[in-house]
Structure 1
C-alpha cells in the first residue's frame, strides 16, 4: 500500500511540474517588434542591448491553428535601457505556435508608471524590475 501511494504521489508531482511551453523560446520576437514600434513613435533612443530584458509573464494555450499546430498566447514584460540611462518598459502580447514565434501581430503597451504600495516587498514584483 505504501509503495502504491508513493507511486501515485510521484506521478502527480511529475504532472504538476510539467509545464509545456512552445519551442523555440519566443522572447526575441516581441522584443524586436516593440523596439521597432517605440523607435518609430520617437519614444526610444539609442539602446544598450546588453541590458535589454524580456521576462515572460504568462503563456497559455489558446487553441489550434488550421493545420493542427498548438497556439499559445504569450505576455512579456520588456525593459529597454537607453545609453543615456533612461528605461522604457513595455508589455508585449502575441501568439506563438509550437515551432513559430510570429503567429500574430505583437500588441505593445507602454508602461508609463509602476505604482507600488503594499506589494513593494513582493518577490515577484522585484523580479520584474
Structure 2
C-alpha cells in the first residue's frame, strides 16, 4: 500500500503538467502580436507568411483556479525575407484563451543559439 501511495505521489505532477498542456491558445497571442506589429508600422498588410510562422510555448504557469499565464516565442517571416522575433505574455483558461490582453515584446537580436 505504501508503494502504491509513493507511485501516485511521484506521478501526480505529471497529471498536473498534462492538464496545463491541454491549453491550445497560441492563436490568440499570435493574432494580437500581428495586430501590434501592424499598428506599430513594423509590417504592412499581408507582409507575413503565416504558414511559416513558428510558435513555441516557453512557459505556462498556473496562477489561479483554471487560470494560466502563458509566455510564447514567435518567429514571423516576411515575404521579403524579414524575420521578426516576438515574445508574448497573456493569461488563458481552459474555457477562454483571451482572458487578458496580450503583452507583445519585439526582440532586437537573438545572440544565443537557435
Assess same fold via TM > 0.5. Answer: yes
State whether residues 44 and 88 of structure 1, in contact with CA within 8 Å, keep that contact through their aligned partners in structure 2: no
The residue number in structure 1 matching 2:55 is 54
Determine the structure 2 residue equivalent to 1:10.
7
Structure 2 unaligned regions, length at least 5: none
Determine which of 97, 106, 112 is the counterpart of 1:110: 106
Q: CA deviation at 1:74?
A: 0.6
Q: TM-score, normalised by structure 2?
A: 0.84
Q: Any idea what SS the aligned residue of 1:25 has?
A: coil
Conservation of the 8 A alpha-carbon contact between 1:22 and 1:97: no
Distance 1:51 1:114 in 2: 19
Q: Secondary structure at the match of 2:13?
A: helix
- Does the CA-based 8 Å contact 2:23-2:93 persist in structure 1? no
Q: Please state whether the residue corresponding to 2:20 is helix, strand or coil.
A: coil
**Count of aligned residue pairs for this structure pair:** 110
Any idea what the Cα deviations from partners look like across 1:9-37, whole Å, max 9, x if unmatched? 53234223220217541000000000011
- Alignment match, 1:32: 31
Contact kept? 1:24, 1:99, Cα under 8 Å: no
Q: What TM-score do the two structures reach when normalised by structure 1? A: 0.75
RMSD of Structure 2 on Structure 1 (CA): 1.9
In 2, Cα distance between equivalents of 1:111 and 1:77 = 10
Q: Which runs of 5+ in 1 are unaligned?
A: 65-69, 121-125
